[in-house]
Amino acid sequence: MKMLIKLAYRNVFRYKRRTLITFLTISLGLAMLIITVCLIDGADKQGITNLIDSQVSHFKICRKDYFEKKDDLPLNLTIKEPERIHNLLKNVPAVMESESRIIFNGSLIKGMDELPCQGVAIEPGRDMRILNIRRSLIEGTWLEDDESKVLVGKNLAKDIGLAVGDIITLRLITSSGDEDLTWNALDVEIKGIFDSGNPNVDRQYVMMPLGLARSGLGLGAEATEILVRLKTDARNDRTLTKIQGQIEEALKPDTQGLGAFSWKESAALILAVSKEKRRQNALVILITLFIAAMGIINTMLMAVFERTREIGMLAALGLRKAEIKKLFVLEGSIIGIFGSLVGCILGGLGGWYYETYGFRLASMGESGDKIIGAFAPVKDIFYGDLSFEILVSTFLLGVFISIISSFYPASKATRLNPIEALKHI
């Protein structure tokens, strides 16, 4: 075996240029694969973080019928006594903070321009412990209770040309679903502009104190939803299910038809898109591996053809068919091992770069934000997520494909008749 390995190793470097091309096909293919997976994982991870930190938090409590129609933002399916719910939630040890909110459809009017937006009424004191909007203020100051001032996202402000201190008209749609359209309008001052990193929030949200929205929408001490922040960052299903059970148990004395919905349920559409994206990514992986496999098969077939007489000689010296097969499989494996190793090093370096310096969506042109934003709630820049598992599994995959790809040419070598092979010119 040692002798076959030695012979295989030397044969690999016999046709340097061809080996180099195959080697590069594998290395670059696997490096691209690692970088792609790293970026997709990074976009997903950052997207989920953005979603939890700026939009849905860990849990949302609302009426079950409201959750079913949440895309319509119905204002007639509210939580009537949200403060009682906050008190009940204090009995759940995992809960850090909760906040009442009202979400409604609306639009911003500045002069002749009008842009649709989503009104988000919050409790400023509680919100800053639940979401990151306060930390992401880039201009102006944070909201106070009961003031007629609003915060807008950076992208929305840019789209309609807003600056801190501007007075604008906010149209609040008071009807919902199939009801006749009714609205109210308020003149409000822009108090701050935020840049949360979540394109959905930064392009749509107009945030205001709960009291302002209640008076504008004609609601009492109600809320459409309660956001819940946990003490620990809950991402896996097991933890979420456990805490969901605890919250629902805590609400039992006063359910009001409410349910607790995890961030996964709130972000079902985004997660479905992410799943689809991974399926497409699997196709990219398959194509990459197919190209690498074709490279190896081609190189090995050329080797079998060019070394036909040598194969005959090896048979004459007494090498069994299985040993000749082993020799060619070893050659393919050596190319695969080196190619995969270099691919993992290159991919690792690329992954490290994107993990450290991030991927700027502007590098994809003006529409970069929109392209990536369609798949994950990220914008401007996101960071790769490189794991040791990706490197190891890609390396093993590369070696496995190389070995499998070598079998066909190796079998061809063993099918050669030694006499015919010795006559080969």
Partner 1 sequence: MTLVKLDMVSRIYHSKSIDFPALEEVSFSVETGEFISIAGPSGSGKTTLLNIIGCLDALSSGSYVLDSDNIGTRKSNELADIRRFKIGFIFQTFNLIPVMTAFENVEFPLLLTGKMNGPERRATVEEILADVGLKDLMHRRPFEMSGGQQQRVAIARALVKKPRLVLADEPTANLDSRTGKEILDLMLRLNQKTDSTFIFSTHDQMVMDCARRLLKLKDGRIESDQVRR
Considering the rule CB under 8 A, would residue 3 count as an interface residue with partner 1? Answer: yes
Binding mask 10-29 for partner 1 (x = CB under 8 A): xx--x---------------
Q: Report CA-CA distances (Å) from 333 to 1, 7, 286, 339, 399.
A: 14, 13, 19, 9, 6
Residue span 285-324 as binding mask against partner 1, x where in contact by CB under 8 A, dash where not: ------------------------xx-xx-xxxxxxxx--
Work out how close the CB of 373 gets to partner 1 at its nearest, in angstroms, rounded to a whole number: 55
**Which of 309, 336, 342 lies closest to 8 in space, CA to CA?**
336
Q: Which of 55, 29, 43 is nearest to 263 (CA)?
A: 55
How many angstroms separate the CA atoms of 188 and 185, rounded?
A: 10
Residue 267 or 421: the one with the smaller Cβ distance to partner 1 is: 421
Q: How far is the CB of 422 from partner 1 (least distance, A)?
A: 7
Contact call for residue 278 and partner 1 (CB under 8 A): no
Give the Cα separation of 224 and 258 in Å (integer): 11
DSSP for 217-270 reads HT--S-BSEEEEEESS---SHHHHHHHHHHHHHHHGGG-TTEEEEEHHHHTHHH
- Nearest distance from C-beta of residue 30 to partner 1, angstroms: 27
DSSP secondary structure string for all residues of 409-420: HHHHHHTS-HHH
CB atoms near residue 100 (< 10 Å): 24
Q: How far is the CB of 403 from partner 1 (least distance, A)?
A: 22
The three-state secondary structure class of 8 is helix
The answer to whether residue 112 forms part of the interface with partner 1 (CB under 8 A) is no
Please say which residue, 5 or 284, places its beta carbon nearer to partner 1.
5
Residues 184, 212: contact at Cβ < 8 Å? no
Q: In the complex with partner 1, which residue's Cβ is closer, 283 or 317? A: 317
Q: What does the block give as tokens for 175?
A: 């009807």
Residue 60 near residue 372, CB atoms below 8 Å: no
Question: Quick one: which of 185, 287, 396, 419 contacts partner 1 (CB under 8 A)?
Answer: 419
If one asks whether residue 7 binds partner 1 (CB under 8 A), the answer comes out as yes
Nearest residue (CB) to partner 1, 39 versus 315: 315
Question: Cβ of residue 345: shortest distance to partner 1, in angstroms?
Answer: 27
Q: Smallest distance from the beta carbon of 34 to partner 1, in angstroms?
A: 33
CB of 318 to partner 1, least distance (A): 3
Q: Which residues bind partner 1 (CB under 8 A)?
A: 3, 7, 10-11, 14, 309-310, 312-313, 315-322, 418-419, 422
